[in-house]
């Protein structure tokens, strides 16, 4: 009968260390230490050069040796004259100035092995060492070592991924990244999106989309498949975000790597005119309930909603959703509610409602939630997992907003794809 709005705190920066994307890359800096020992020299003009007295190969590294305040988005570039490149590595030293574990920088050689160019951003406030080997046409080798430091970010942004930690989730849960501060610039959104990769087994088609929760103001970029996930699909997110400017010099500082699995296809259908709820698992009906939805003054949302979380007891108050603050109001409530399954950030739950037992299957008498007999609510609570779908129909209320919880399933495939910054 009751509903409450859980005001989610702004997502904090990812609390777990980001995956270190260790990739061997060959190449190092201008006028490196090893090159100096071999007779190399620096030209003093931007990028440095190094060569062995015995090798005709001459290595040039950009940024130049000992350069400070390098833009994290600037490319690291290594070239060789008179030979071919062997290995190139761009490795962080220790931690960044703000205590973040920095990432290694990946890159690739061109076909001729004359140029190596980085293919990602770098962690702000980090010292990097570049090491390079090369050989001339006679096979004589040279190597060089150089170093530079990226600028320290004056402002930072954080991101919280969902789901986490090899979770098993329902067929409606998107891959989701919520930002501490909104990414308002379209170019910055595009840069973020280009750094994101979703791989699945078996292969699944889908798209990223940018949405904002209308209640909390939290902005997310979600990857949603074109249709519901198939059970047993393995999903991996790789987010190479460290060093991306999300606008106005506000940098992301960590990469993310996360894997999860799709579990049972549990989809529940709520008919608010018939006052019933039908629960299906993998396409088969497993339970039918009598329910009581939102009464005419406070109707339940129509549309497709996704389980966000569940709690065995939730304190629900009318004041938290702006319904009534005075005990004199007929709509005032302050109650501990059992077996609560959360399906919108605006405060919609399924839950036990023993005070409305006489209304189950007869009429809608709640303040927007989906109430059940206690035994039915416990049965549903015990099975529900994050990502299960609850689909309501027959209400006088509008369809739930795409950003109100995981409401994006209320958009068709093409409408969802248009929310991508790369569309």
Sequence ranges of the domains in the chain: 33-150, 155-262, 266-413
Of 362, 192, 212, 189, nearest to 272 by C-alpha is: 362
Q: What is the CATH number of domain 266-413?
A: 2.40.440.10
Q: What pLDDT does residue 21 have?
A: 29
Q: Classify domain 155-262 by CATH architecture.
A: Sandwich (2.60)
Do 155-262 and 33-150 have the same topology in CATH? Answer: yes
Of 61, 157, 51, nearest to 107 by C-alpha is: 61
- Enter the tokens of residue 131: 């090491």
| CA distances in angstroms from 205 to 163, 198, 227, 232, 356, listed in the order given | 19, 10, 8, 16, 44
Q: What pLDDT does residue 123 have?
A: 95
Mean pLDDT split into 10-residue runs, the chain, 423 residues: 42 35 29 35 43 83 97 97 97 78 95 98 96 96 96 95 93 98 96 98 98 96 98 98 96 95 98 98 98 96 98 87 71 87 96 96 95 98 98 97 98 98 96
Residue 329 CB burial class (10 angstroms; 0-12, 13-18, ≥19): exposed
Q: What pLDDT does residue 411 have?
A: 98
Could you please state the CATH topology (level 3) that the domain comprising 33-150 is classified under.
Immunoglobulin-like (2.60.40)
Q: What pLDDT does residue 39 have?
A: 34
- Enter the tokens of residue 239: 């987010």
To the question of pTM greater than 0.75 for the whole model, the response is yes
């Amino acid at each position: 009968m009751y509903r409450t709005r859980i005001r989610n705190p702004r997502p904090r920066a990812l609390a777990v260390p980001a995956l270190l994307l260790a990739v061997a890359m060959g190449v190092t800096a201008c006028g490196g230490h090893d090159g100096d020992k071999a007779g190399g020299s620096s030209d003093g003009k931007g990028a440095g050069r190094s060569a062995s007295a015995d090798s005709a190969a001459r290595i040039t590294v950009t940024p130049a040796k000992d350069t400070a305040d390098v833009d994290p988005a600037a490319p690291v570039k290594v070239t060789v004259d008179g030979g071919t490149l062997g290995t190139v590595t761009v490795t962080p030293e220790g931690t960044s100035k703000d205590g973040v574990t920095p990432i290694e920088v990946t890159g690739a050689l061109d076909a001729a092995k004359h140029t190596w160019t980085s293919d990602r951003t770098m962690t702000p406030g980090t010292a990097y060492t570049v090491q390079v080997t090369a050989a001339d046409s006679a096979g004589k080798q040279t190597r060089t070592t150089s170093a530079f430091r990226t600028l320290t970010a004056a402002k930072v942004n954080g991101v919280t991924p969902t789901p986490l930690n090899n979770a098993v989730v329902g067929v409606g849960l998107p891959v989701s990244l919520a930002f501490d501060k909104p990414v308002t610039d379209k170019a910055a959104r595009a840069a973020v999106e280009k750094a994101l990769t979703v791989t699945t087994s078996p292969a699944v088609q889908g798209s990223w989309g940018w949405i904002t929760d209308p209640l909390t103001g939290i902005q997310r970029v979600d990857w949603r498949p074109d249709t519901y996930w198939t059970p047993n699909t393995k999903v991996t997110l790789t987010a190479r975000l460290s060093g991306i400017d999300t606008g106005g010099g506000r940098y992301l500082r960590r990469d993310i790597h996360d894997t999860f699995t799709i579990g049972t296809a549990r989809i529940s259908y709520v008919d608010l005119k018939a006052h019933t709820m039908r629960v299906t698992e993998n396409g088969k009906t497993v339970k039918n309930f009598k329910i009581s939805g939102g009464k005419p003054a406070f109707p339940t949302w129509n549309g497709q909603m996704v389980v966000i979380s569940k709690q065995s007891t939730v304190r629900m108050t009318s004041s938290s959703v702006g319904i009534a603050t005075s005990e004199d109001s007929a709509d005032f409530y302050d109650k501990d509610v059992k077996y609560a399954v959360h399906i919108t950030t605006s405060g919609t739950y399924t839950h036990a409602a023993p005070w409305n037992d006489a209304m189950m299957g007869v009429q809608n008498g709640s303040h927007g939630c989906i109430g059940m007999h206690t035994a039915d609510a416990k049965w549903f609570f015990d099975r529900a997992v994050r990502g299960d779908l609850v689909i309501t129909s027959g209400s006088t209320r509008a369809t739930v907003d795409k950003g109100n919880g995981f409401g994006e399933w209320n958009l068709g495939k093409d409408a969802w794809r248009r929310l991508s910054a790369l569309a």
